[in-house]
Amino acid sequence: MRPYEYAYSPIGKRDPFRSVLDDEQAKPSLAVGGRDCGPLCKWDLEQFKLVAVISGMSNPVAMVEDPSGRGYVVRRGTFIGKRNGKVSQIRSGEVIVTEVFKDQMGKPHLNQIVIELPKDEKAKGGEDVDLLGAEVMQ
């Protein structure tokens, strides 16, 4: 009879010589819902200011500014805000963010928040650009 041969494979197993606490501290901080959206998740949506919109492309782009004055480029699908909002549409002069929340019964509801260009920026007309038409949209 042949003796049993065992081959140890460490794939998918925790290192037994490392502390479990080290693993917990090494994990990046995730926003509510388990998504890591970086600095855009530090602020409430109401605190962001829409600075510019570039439309007229298949994937429009917008720039938002946080309260500290730092700007971020957002596209459709970008997660933003403390309540896990997701940029659903970028239109001329506005960005629409959709937040999903559950009521007491567990039924999901959509909450759409519109972040608009400030009125004085719209009056200037220089912040909303249509790249295909090469003219400023108002």
22, part of any domain: no
Residues in the chain, pLDDT under 50: 28-32, 126-127, 131-138
- Nearest Cα neighbor of 76 from 65, 85, 88, 84 is 88
Q: What is the residue-averaged pLDDT of the chain?
A: 78
Domain containing residue 80: 28-136
11, part of any domain: no
CATH classification of the domain holding 84: 2.30.30.830
Q: What is the pLDDT of residue 33?
A: 52
Q: What is the pLDDT of residue 24?
A: 56
Q: What is the pLDDT of residue 1?
A: 57
127, part of any domain: yes
Q: What is the pLDDT of residue 30?
A: 47
Q: Which residues contact 82 (CB under 8 A, 6 or more apart)?
A: 31, 32, 41, 42, 43, 44, 45
**Domain count for the chain:** 1
Convert the pLDDT of each residue in 86-113 to its tens digit.
Answer: 999 999 899 999 998 888 888 888 999 9
Secondary structure class of 89 (helix, strand, coil) = strand
2, part of any domain: no
12, part of any domain: no
76, part of any domain: yes
Q: What is the pLDDT of residue 126?
A: 47
48, part of any domain: yes
Separation between Cα atoms, residue 65 and residue 62, nearest integer Å? 10
